[in-house]
Every structure is written in C-alpha cells, then in structure tokens.
Amino acid sequence: MENQPEIVTKALEFAQWGWDLALQWLLSPAAWSQFGLLLVAYVAAVLATRRLHPALRGLIAPAEGQEGLIATVRRFVLAFLPLLLPLLAYLFTAIGESVTATLFGSSAVIAFGKRVFLFLAARILVSEIIRDPFLKLLGRYVLIPLMAIYAVGLLDLVSDKLNESVVHLGNISFSLMSLVRGLIAGSLLFWFGRWSNDQSAAYIGKQEELRPATRTLAAKAAEVTIFGLAFLLLMNIMGISLTSLAVLGGAIGVGLGFGLQKIASNFISGVILLLEGQATVGDYVALDGGEAGTIVKMTARAAILETFDGRWIVVPNEDFIVTRVVNYSDSGSANRYDAAFSVSYDTDINRVPALIEAAVARLPFVLQDPDGPDCELRGFGDSGIDFAVEFWVNGIDDGRNKYTSQVLFAVWNALKENGIEIPYPHRVVEIKSGSLT
C-alpha cells in the first residue's frame, strides 16, 4: 500500500479509523447504553409525533378557502410539520446526552445519533417540504452531502483542508473554503434576489395611479438595487477585497468597453425613455425603419413590439432616441381615421352627410369626444362623387380592431336603405362608321 496515490491512502486511513471506532463502540458497555438511549429517544419521538401531529395540524391549518397574510403564514408553517419526528428525536437525544455524559463521562454515540437525526431532517426538508426547483436542486446536491459529512464527524476536517487550500488570481487570493461558501451563499442570495424582484415588480405593477413608464422605471430600479446589494454581500461573505476587485474590474472594463458601447447606449436610452414617458408599454408606435406594433415589454436593452398578426419585433432602445417615432396611442388616447366612399352623380349629395354621420355615430366604438363623425365631400371622380367620413376611436385600427371595415359596412347599409346608388366604372365605346382595324 506504500505506492498508492495520496487520496487512496487517505481513504484507507479513514476506513481504518471508522472500523476501529465501530469495534470500540461494539465492545464498550457505555456505547451499548448510549445505543439503547438512542432507541428509546426515537421510540419516544414516534409516540409523541402520533399525538402531537393531529393536534398541531388542527391548530395551525387555516379554514378552507381563507385568504390573507395570516392564512398564508399558517400554510407556510404547516408545511414544516413533517420535520416534527426527527426534531423531537434530536431533542430527546440531547436530553439523553447529558445523562450519559454524567454517568459514563462519554457521549460519542449519542452525539453521532444527534447528527444522524439532523441528517434525516435535512432529507425530509429537501424531499417533502421544499417545492422550488432551484432550492430542491441545491438541497439535493449541497445540503444533503454537507449533512452527511457532518453526521460522520468529518466536517471539521474537510473545512480545515479547504481553508488551507488558497487560490491566487492576480491581486486577489482566496481559499477554496471561501469559494465553496461563496457558491452556496451566492446561489441563495441570487435566488432570494430573484424572488424579491418578482415580488417587488408585482407590487409596483399593481399601483395603477402611477404611469406605466414610472412603474417600469421603479421596477428596474428595484431590480438593480436588489441584485447590487446581493453582489456586495456576496463579496463580503467570500472575503474578497472590493478594492482589488475594482482594479481587476477596471482592467476588464477598459478591454471590453469598446465592444459594449452599444449595450451601454441602449441601456441609457432605455432609462431616458422610462423617465420621459414618450413611449411606454401599451403604446402603438411606428419607427422610421418600418417597425410598427404595440409595445408589450421594455427591457434594459430593447423594447419588444407585437404586430397585429402576433409577431414580436425586438427594437433596440437607441432607435427610439436617434430616429423619428410615431406614437399612435400614447397610453390609450383617441385616434382619428377616415373611410372613403363614392355615390352616383344622380344622387342629391346634400342628403349624404347627415345620413352617413348618423349611421356611423350609432357604432359603439365611435367616440363623440373630441369630435363626432364628420362626412366630407372630397371631390368629383370619373365614376362618382367622392366622400369620406372621419371618426374617432379609442384604439388602433389594426388586426384586432377592424374599425374602418365596420364603418364601411355601416356606410353601405345606410346608402342602400336610402336608395342611394354606389357607382362603379362605366366605359362608353363609340363606333364610328367604317371598318374596325
């Protein structure tokens, strides 16, 4: 065994240590008494759980259909009832530990049992209580292995080894223990940051008295603040000096600055858009480049437009600043459209405006404010007299809102009901005497 790798030698040493410890416990009356106390503690915990579990459930569980903060907290606490058995076993074992330490001067087996009960509690927590997929993954691959190492009494040894291993990265140096601690803490911090950001965004979104642009800006500011604090707290947990990090970050920033100019420009443009409120979520806009649609989302880099046929167009925020933008809706303001039609030259055109205006005014989506329907004479065409009716609606005439089509239906029906002819092209062919060639 002398030529084996170091890791194999260490594993064999631990195996030998475990075997010696097991033999010592098997041959020791004190160890057997401690095993007996562990068994008694577990049985007592099972009996106590059978009595306490129904009582606690009835006390904590809210009434069916009850909502509100108190009901939510009670349901949250109720989810932890499966931990009752291992925690009671741990409590009873702790009582037994003080007894054995007094009688035999040793409580190693009892201490091992306590750690095993904590390991069982961790398994129940991950398998039965945690529902979030990310937290469940973190519990399965971090918490349970960590509790297993703690249960066998090797946690201090592993911690010492990780603290002794130091990694140097330029002016920054940190131990592997700091790295592991940072990975665990970072995962929890950024999960909590994401959850906090979702909650704050939902709360801000419910404040209807604020403009949509103000709500979006507040949500973005909350997001930057939450994740900024999480990053600073993570650096502090890992023990990394922010001064050294600033030097490294400055060097990286100089190298990447030129390549990130567009991203920075789009980010600043997005902040300007949110502050000025010239275009916000819900507005129907058209850009010089031909992009047109309703703004459904504004991110730090771009705005997402949805066309009337359901397609999404990603437009960089910078385009809203450096090009001309036509905002048709401005958060729900009215828009004016017109529908053209023609009547025959045999028509008494003085009757047409009143008939058409009355017919269009009866449509439910046509507004009377800022102005009602207005029928205008536009000109004298080749086949008929050209009119157009102007009308105001609270929306955009796009794929979902066929305002002009419904107005033309109303015009057609009004003209037909009043015997007014809608012309179509006529051609007069005059044949003079002689042969056609």
C-alpha 48: how far from chain center = 43
C-alpha 377: how far from chain center = 54
Beta bridge partners of residue 255, listed in sequence order: none
Instruction: Show the CA angle centred on residue 123, arms to residues 117 and 129, nearest 5°.
Output: 120
**Count of CB atoms within 10 A of residue 76's CB?**
10
Supply the mean pLDDT for the chain: 76
pLDDT at 26 over 90: no
pLDDT digits (tens, 9 = 90+) for 151-172: 777 777 777 777 777 766 666 6
pLDDT at 234 over 90: no
Give the right CATH number for 281-327 from 3.40.50.2300, 2.30.30.60, 3.20.20.10, 2.160.10.10: 2.30.30.60
Identify the CATH number of the domain defined by range 335-417.
3.30.70.100
* 10 vs 150, more confident: 150
Distances (CA, A) of 326 to 173, 213, 316, 428: 54, 17, 16, 46
pLDDT at 376 over 80: yes
pLDDT of residue 388: 93
* 303 vs 199, more confident: 303
pLDDT digits (tens, 9 = 90+) for 102-149: 655 556 667 777 888 888 888 888 888 888 888 888 888 888 888 888
pLDDT at 421 over 80: yes
pLDDT of residue 89: 84
Copy the structure tokens of residue 359. 């017919």
pLDDT of residue 390: 92
In the chain, what is the straight-line distance between the N-terminal and C-terminal CA atoms, in Å? 116
The three-state (H, E, C) secondary structure of the chain, written as one string: CCCCCHHHHHHHHHHHHHHHHHHHHHCCHHHHHHHHHHHHHHHHHHHHHHHHHHHHHHHHCCCCCCCCHHHHHHHHHHCCHHHHHHHHHHHHHHHHHHHHHHHHCCCHHHHHHHHHHHHHHHHHHHHHHCCCHHHHHHHHHHHHHHHHHHHCCCHHHHHHHHHHCEEEECCEEEEHHHHHHHHHHHHHHHHHHHHHHHHHHHHHHCCCCCCHHHHHHHHHHHHHHHHHHHHHHHHHHHCCCHHHHHHHHHHHHHHHHCCCHHHHHHHHHHHHHHHHCCCCCCCEEEECCCCEEEEEEECCCEEEEECCCCCEEEEEHHHHHHCCEEECCCCCCCEEEEEEEEECCCCCCCCHHHHHHHHHHCCCCEECCCCCCEEEEEEECCCCEEEEEEEEECCCCCCCCCHHHHHHHHHHHHHHHCCCCCCCCCCCCCCCCCCCC
pLDDT at 244 over 70: no
- Residues of the chain with pLDDT > 90, as a percent, come to 8
pLDDT of residue 408: 93
In the Cβ-directed half-sphere of 64, how many Cα atoms lie within 13 Å?
0
pLDDT at 20 over 70: no
As a whole number, mean pLDDT of residues 187-209 equals: 77
Side chain identity at residue 29, one-letter code: P
pLDDT at 365 over 80: yes
Q: How far is residue 144's CA from residue 123's CA, in Å, rounded to a whole number?
A: 6
pLDDT of residue 106: 58
Q: What is the pTM of this model?
A: 0.48
**Of 124, 153, 154, whose CA–CA distance to 139 is shortest?**
124
As a whole number, mean pLDDT of residues 229-248 equals: 67
